[in-house]
Amino acid sequence: MAPSYADINVGDEPIRLETDPISRTTLALYCGASGDHNPMHIDIDYAKAAGEKDVFAHGMLVMAYLGRSVTSWVPQTALRSFNTRFTAITRIGEKIICTGKVVEKKEVDGEKRVKVELLATNEKGESKAAGEAVVALS
């Protein structure tokens, strides 16, 4: 059940999602589901030829984790906006930890909305993506 607008306060941190470590299987499954077969994410020889030590996660996979963290808190129908910017490469073996902090409450056209700052980090606290979501609450 979605939280009530009255029960949410600026400064609350209602969102937290921790993933399993990113694996080659994770990347292969995401590749198949998304249709993004960029060799930087699946072909170690290609990645090494481009100067990387190994393949790395799709930025959109990390964005998907951020989206899932929001829709684990409120229903998808409550989402009014969602944006993300990528801040660093996510490597094989890293866990992604998504958090969200309420930074604003307001009414728009009679609808009660909450803005949440989002952050995806690895287990060392290194930022991988950041963004925000706006959700409607009753």
pLDDT tens-place string over residues 45-90: 999 999 999 999 999 999 999 999 999 999 999 999 999 999 999 9
Kindly compute the dihedral angle of the four CA atoms of residues 70, 71, 74, 77, in this order, to the nearest 10 degrees.
120
Query: What amino acid occupies position 44?
Result: I
For residue 2, what pLDDT is reported?
A: 84
pTM reported for the whole predicted model: 0.95
Please state which CATH number belongs to domain 12-22+58-136: 3.10.129.10
Q: Where are the domains of the chain?
A: 12-22+58-136
Residue 109 banded pLDDT, cuts 50, 70, 90: very high
Strands 15-18 and 79-86: unpaired
For residue 103, what pLDDT is reported?
A: 98
User: Are 25 and 96 spatial neighbours (Cβ–Cβ below 8 Å)?
Assistant: no
